[in-house]
Amino acid sequence: MLHITMIGCGAIGVGVLELLENDPQLCVDYVIASRGSEALVRQRLASFKQPPQVLTALPADARPDLLVECAGHRAIEEHVLPALERGIACLIVSVGALSEVGLVERLEAAAERGKTRIELLPGAIGGIDALSAAKVGGLDSVNYTGRKPARAWKNTPGEQACDLDSISEATVIFQGSAREAARLYPKNANVAATLSLAGLGLDRTHVTLIADPHSDENVHHFEARGAFGRFELSLRGKPLLANPKTSALTVYSVVRALGNHAHAISI
């Protein structure tokens, strides 16, 4: 059985725990919550048969097989870097955090010192395997468009780009590099960062973000061109009820990744 620590227990975290509840090969022992949110998180987990222990930091003597981050950008600095130094393998969903200059190198160095590994999860997008294979032959361009319902852009700089409550048609709220998108939209542009890290890099991947008042889906579309040929993918994700910014596929992506570590065959 694999012993897991989960960082963050919001929409993704709860969804993952629900799906893992009956998997005999995976056990989440600890959930790490923000300071001051422990009681709320315990409440969220009250209906679980065997709820994980809720803490605000990993105990010094804990040695989970895997740590999975489902929290947000600041959790990388706070929890992932120290865990890597301790030799704990980490799975990351908040990939946009790696847009901060120097953080990729710091994560690599911490993993090397801990003799362990970091896995960046595909989350709400697919095709990362093909894009990253295409990179080997050389890529010429990668263009990504993220289109979400207007409500998904609440409390983001999208509110300055347009009036989200009154737009009557799909409106471009951002155009620029994946690095800038991930910095400005930490809860909405992790996919942009993932595509760029698998492909042409944070500064050469072109990103367009759209608020669409007529859509109830999170639509991720990208087109890559290179020596391999051309690749286009459009993924129409259903948002989670608990968080309209986040697609349900992100939860399944975490469960798949954890299962691949525990089961005899990985796919």
Which residues sit at the interface with ligand OAA, rule CB under 6 A? Answer: 124, 187-191, 218, 237, 245-247, 250
Dig out the tokens for 119 from the structure: 């896995």
214 an active-site residue? no
CB of 193 to ligand OAA, least distance (A): 8
C-alpha distance from residue 219 to each of 58, 102, 215, 237, 255 (Å): 36, 30, 9, 6, 21
Catalytic residue among 214, 220, 221, 261, which? 220
Among 148, 150, 174, which residue's Cα sits nearest to residue 161?
Answer: 174
Which does residue 10 touch among ligand NDP, ligand OAA, none (CB within 5 to 8 A, set by kind)?
Answer: ligand NDP
Which residues within the stretch 233-252 sit at the binding site for ligand NDP (CB under 6 A)?
Answer: 243, 246, 250
Q: Is 188 annotated as a binding residue?
A: no
Interaction between residue 187 and ligand NDP (CB under 6 A): yes
Stretch that binds ligand NDP, among 22-30, 60-68, 109-117, 185-193 (CB under 6 A): 185-193
CB atoms near residue 51 (< 10 Å): 16
CB of 253 to ligand NDP, least distance (A): 7
| Residue whose CB is less far from ligand NDP, 25 or 43 | 43
Cα 248 from Cα 238, distance rounded (Å)? 6
Q: Which residues face 67 on adjacent strands?
A: 5, 90
Interaction between residue 184 and ligand NDP (CB under 6 A): no
| Residue whose CB is less far from ligand NDP, 9 or 173 | 9
Interaction between residue 89 and ligand NDP (CB under 6 A): no
Interaction between residue 75 and ligand NDP (CB under 6 A): yes
Which residues within the stretch 109-148 sit at the binding site for ligand NDP (CB under 6 A)?
Answer: 123-124
CB of 96 to ligand NDP, least distance (A): 6
- Total binding residues toward ligand NDP, as defined by CB under 6 A: 31
Q: Which residues face 175 on adjacent strands?
A: 208
Q: Is 124 annotated as a binding residue?
A: yes
DSSP-derived 3-state class of residue 46: coil
Residues 6+ apart with CB under 8 A from 44: 9, 14
CB of 46 to ligand OAA, least distance (A): 26
Cα 29 from Cα 6, distance rounded (Å)? 8
β strands within 46-127, DSSP E: 53-55, 66-69, 89-92, 118-120
Residues 6+ apart with CB under 8 A from 25: 1, 2, 259, 262, 263
Among 6, 71, 88, 152, binds ligand NDP (CB under 6 A): 71
- On whether the CB atoms of residues 245 and 239 are closer than 8 A, the answer is yes
Enumerate binding residues for ligand NDP (CB under 6 A): 7-13, 32-34, 37, 70-75, 78, 93-95, 123-124, 186-187, 190-191, 194, 243, 246, 250
- Active site (catalytic) residues: 220
Binding site, annotated residues for NAD(+) = 124, 190
